[in-house]
Structure 1
């Protein structure tokens, strides 16, 4: 790999926090709302950052960038989250170059997910990519890299068992309920929030409840109504939240807000036992609720430890997925080399054709039409063979030479001395 390509790779980095190093409350401080993400992208564009993608999920908040100014991207990130520079130095990470590319592949394949093989991450990354594209923050490097990554993720999903079986945050929530709630078919459930995780949880819950005793509450009542009609269940407006909290034995919170949405005030006068599953990051269940008698609050991190046998089966598929990733990375590096060499290859072909055309023009008057056609065909084949040989030499020599033009000059000098 040439020095120029290595320099280009070093411009690609990710900075962020994830479940691997950071507790739930700390991840919440670095979580970015949709508005924060859009504002960050606008600022990055204004400051001349070449390419940038913002990913914020319950497991991680990461900024992928292709630029020489890592300090600027770090400052922009910290300006939109509640965590400060000291928090980030202690809890965060920065990965650069080839290591960053490998990390991106592992994230998008589900290998680096809190629940291994959770394929929801692919949709989240695609949404992040689309948002950056809307703000014209996808340069050619990011465009081609993420294209390779999405293709590899699809191949891993289709050709391995990494994402087979039920093992996701929403499934872990339902599995926990099944294991802990004795009267599952008669219990009353409340699902607060109908985003992507809320929808998945709703679907999984309905599969295991014969009496459909599930009520949806959402800030946007139209969305709750649409989901309720799909599964033939009940829905209520936000104004009825306290009433529904009182009725439910199991409450699932998936509001995805940057602040608590289920408050201790919603439990005034309630003495019955309640199981609350908070699927949001940062926490959307008021921490004061944790101290209420007869109320058990379970967080995302606790749910991730409660998975089925599918998890163990998935772990055995990681080596196969890693092979697909390694193959795709090699293809991407090949694309980088061809892209870097393409101007030289075009110049080479142009120079060869000019030499051919000049010679043909010089001898044109001395040949008949039939002779000229044969000579044109012969010289065309000859030029193509020379071009292919030179291009092959360029690609091989480029791995050690710092300058493709130096390699091109060397080829022609060698030809002149022979």
Structure 2
């Protein structure tokens, strides 16, 4: 059996091409059925995210997959080929293990990709394009991804400023779910911070932005409260954590504003994380008692240190992925051997039935029993040794001593 994986990702293709090759939820089921029809086993999984589109199939020519992908999306095949990568057999398995473990991600070790691959598998299963081989492959993948997360530190360290900010908050406030957070700004970085916070159980969030409509849009997504920048002083004292990232040329939170908030909080600690350039929070805020101010430079140092740690962990993860891809291929080869043995037994059984039927017919006609038995033995022996004899002769004539020795061993030929 031959596993095949083809795809494009953030390393090989532009955003514009990745958009053209994506499979939205409205076309996914039809695409899976069409793709599965190209294979001999009817198996297909499509992984489609903002950074990659990949097809996983079994028993199909890789060229047919490239042609199918270009035709399905009405793309120029030559353009697609310049960005596509192709893996078969063990390399296909190893690639899937690397992807699911975050080793092939834009951010090394990011955990979201595993959830996306699980969804792709369940979508394919619900559509009916999962059979024994791909089911076993993806179940193996989920097990290995968990093993890599458990045995290495590939995902334990923050490697984005947004993630580092939330991790910092977690170290200062043991239970983030009990903390109230103010996010200043409504851009991509703040949105990512909000996502990390909600994953950690934070439910009480205020989003402050210059434009109220933009703040309301983000607040709606995360169940937060939206306010404008001038309203910050009214709510600042309520917040345990403030994380700010705007494009403002001047600071938004001054020393006096934070000092007043701390008085209202009766000097309960406040964490302020400024990930804006230029700064959103006056540096003098860090001089206030019970105000813990961290800047983007502080976080960047954490990120660089953690990235080095992840790179070291990635080396361990790569070894696990390689070893486990070999293990899966051994299982797959075992399937092939079972099928071969079954076919060989069936063929031999058929020869026996045919020879026995002829012998019974002769006996019923009254032929001498010894002659019938003798013919049965001779004909059955000749039919059973016909193919092995041809293989032995071919190996001997071509001087293929390795094959000759293998055949002798398989047939139990002993020189003694």
Cα pair distance change 1:41/1:204, threshold 3 Å: closer
CA drift at 1:185: 4.9
Query: Which residue does 1:217 correspond to in 2?
Result: 217
Residue aligning to 2:195: 200
- How far apart are the structure 2 equivalents of 1:318 and 1:114? 14
2:61 is matched with 69
Contact 1:110 1:121 in 2 (8 A): yes
Mapped partners of 1:53, 1:208: distance in 2 = 35
- C-alpha change, 1:202 and 1:132, in structure 2 (3 Å) is same
Matches within 5 A, 1:1-150: 8=1, 11-48=2-39, 50=41, 51-81=43-73, 83-150=75-142
Matched, 1:341 2:337: yes
The superposition leaves residues 371-400 of structure 1 with CA deviations (integer Å, 9 ceiling, x where unpaired) of xxxxxxxxxxxxxxxxxxxxxxxxxxxxx8
Contact 2:184 2:207 in 1 (8 A): no
1:321 is matched with which residue: 311, 314, 317? 317
Q: 1:41 to 1:345 in 2, by over 3 A?
A: closer
Counterparts of 1:130 and 1:166, CA distance in 2:
29
* Alignment pair present for 1:187 and 2:184: yes
Alpha-carbon displacement from aligned partner over 1:209-228 (angstroms, at most 9, x marks no partner): 9755484538xx9xx57x41
Would you say the 8 A contact 1:36–1:80 is kept in 2?
no
**Take 1:338 and 1:100, find their aligned partners in 2: how far apart are those partners?**
18
Q: Could you say if the C-alpha distance between residues 136 and 28 of structure 1 is closer, same or farther in structure 2, counting changes exceeding 3 Å?
A: same
Shift of residue 107 of structure 1?
Answer: 0.8
Shift of the 344–56 alpha-carbon distance from structure 1 to 2, 3 Å rule, reads: closer
CA–CA distance in structure 2, aligned partners of residues 126 and 169 of structure 1: 27
1:49 positional shift: 5.2
Q: Secondary structure of 2:411's match?
A: helix
**Quick one: distance in 2 between partners of 1:247 and 1:124?**
40
Q: Which has the higher contact order (CA 8 A, sep 6+)?
A: 1
Structure 1 spans left out of the alignment, 5+ residues:
1-7, 176-183, 236-243, 250-271, 276-305, 352-399
- Separation of aligned partners in 2, 1:248 and 1:57: 38
C-alpha spacing 1:14/1:172, structure 2 compared with 1 (3 Å): farther
Deviations 1:339-385 (A, max 9, x none): 2233566799999xxxxxxxxxxxxxxxxxxxxxxxxxxxxxxxxxx
CA shift in 2, pair 1:213/1:12, >3 Å = same
SS in 2 for 1:17: strand
Deviation at 1:117, TM superposition (A): 0.3
* Residue 165 (structure 1) shift: 1.9
**Per-residue CA shift, 1:160-194, capped at 9, x if unaligned?**
1011123469738989xxxxxxxx957243789x9
> Are 1:310 and 2:311 counterparts?
no
Cα 1:409/1:103, change in 2 over 3 Å: closer
In 2 relative to 1, CA 23–205 (structure 1 residues): closer, same or farther, beyond 3 Å? farther
Aligned in 2, Cα 1:19/1:342: closer, same or farther, shift over 3 Å? same
Distance 1:169 1:146, change over 3 A: farther
For residues 201-258 of structure 1, the C-alpha deviation after alignment (integer angstroms, 9 at most, x for no partner) is 562799699755484538xx9xx57x41xxxx137xxxxxxxx999999xxxxxxxxx
Q: Which residue of 2 aligns with 1:151?
A: 143
Contact 1:15 1:92 in 2 (8 A): yes
For 1:285-334, what per-residue CA distance to the aligned partner results, in whole angstroms no more than 9, with x for missing partners? xxxxxxxxxxxxxxxxxxxxx95532221001122112222221232122
Normalised to the residue count of structure 2, the TM-score between the two structures is 0.54
- 1:89/1:410 Cα in 2 relative to 1: closer, same or farther (>3 Å)? same
**Long gaps (5+) in structure 2:** 168-180, 210-214, 233-245, 250-301, 349-401
- Per-residue deviation, 1:80: 4.0
Distance 1:45 1:128, change over 3 A: same
Question: Does residue 166 of structure 1 match 2:195?
Answer: no
